């Protein structure tokens, strides 16, 4: 599954590795990186404070969310 990683706060070294090739970018506030399926990924906090990152998982095709009938968003038509 593809992943998109968005750094909200802090400083991270991201280790990416596939087929013996290694890449180690440094990410800071508001940096984003896309990691394709099958790529090893590791994050190392190299800052002086805690880091916070949002990771979003992808799918082969978009999936429309569904809600229970009583939920306010259930009435929205797509």
pLDDT for residue 78 is more than 70:
no
Gap between the Cα atoms of 10 and 29, Å rounded: 6
Boundaries of every domain in the chain: 3-75
Gap between the Cα atoms of 53 and 30, Å rounded: 9
pTM of the model: 0.72
**Per-residue pLDDT tens digits for 30-71:** 999 999 999 999 999 999 999 999 999 987 787 888 889 999
């Amino acid at each position: 599954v593809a992943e998109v990683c968005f750094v909200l706060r802090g400083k991270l070294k991201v280790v990416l590795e596939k087929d013996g090739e290694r890449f180690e970018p440094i990410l800071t506030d508001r940096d984003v990186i896309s990691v394709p399926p099958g790529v090893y990924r590791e994050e190392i906090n190299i800052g002086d404070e805690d880091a916070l990152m949002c990771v979003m998982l992808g799918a082969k095709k978009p999936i429309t969310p569904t809600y229970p009938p009583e939920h306010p968003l259930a009435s929205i038509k797509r």
